[in-house]
């Protein structure tokens, strides 16, 4: 099983999750949010040019992966965005503002 490395950073307006997925195609990655858990799963496939080759040394890992990250901060997951560039996926999770979190109805 392939286990990509992650970093989680909290800023004033968002939480950013960075996950290293070099050689993984964006169509092989799924991202979901449920009950304050961000789930990133997918599959890192061997390079097609290596098919049939006799390896002398193999250090790279391949296969399915799944990372579950508990985010203990109120997140507006409907506004979340993800991008994949040069093997690094960044998932931006906007925080819910204090007034949104209270679910208060304003009185005019």
**Domain coordinates in residue numbering, the chain:** 6-47+60-101
Beta sheet of 37-44, edge-to-edge order: 29-34, 37-44, 63-70
pLDDT of 54 over the 60 cut: yes
User: Sign of the C-alpha dihedral, residues 5, 48, 85, 81?
Assistant: negative
Domain 6-47+60-101 class in CATH: mainly beta
Number of continuous H segments (helices) and E segments (strands) in the chain? 1, 7
Q: Where are the beta strands (DSSP E) in 1-107?
A: 6-10, 14-20, 29-34, 37-44, 63-70, 81-85, 88-94
Q: Mean pLDDT, to the nearest integer, of 25-43?
A: 96
At residue 83, the pLDDT reads 96
Q: Report pLDDT digits (tens) over 12-22.
A: 999 999 999 99
At residue 22, the pLDDT reads 93
Mean pLDDT (the chain) is 89
| Whole-number Å distance between alpha carbons of 1 and 44 | 9
Residue 24 Ramachandran class (φ > 0 left, ψ -120 to 50 alpha, else beta): beta
């Amino acid at each position: 099983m392939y286990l990509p490395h992650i970093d989680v950073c909290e800023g004033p307006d968002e939480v950013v999750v960075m996950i290293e997925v070099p050689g993984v195609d964006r169509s092989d990655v799924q991202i979901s949010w449920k009950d304050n858990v961000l789930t990133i799963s997918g599959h890192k496939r061997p390079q097609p040019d290596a098919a049939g080759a006799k390896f002398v040394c193999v250090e790279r890992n391949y296969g399915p992966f799944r990372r579950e990250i508990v985010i203990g901060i109120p997140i507006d997951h409907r506004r979340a965005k993800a991008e994949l560039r040069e093997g690094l996926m960044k998932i931006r999770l906007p925080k819910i503002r204090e007034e949104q979190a209270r679910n208060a109805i304003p009185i005019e």
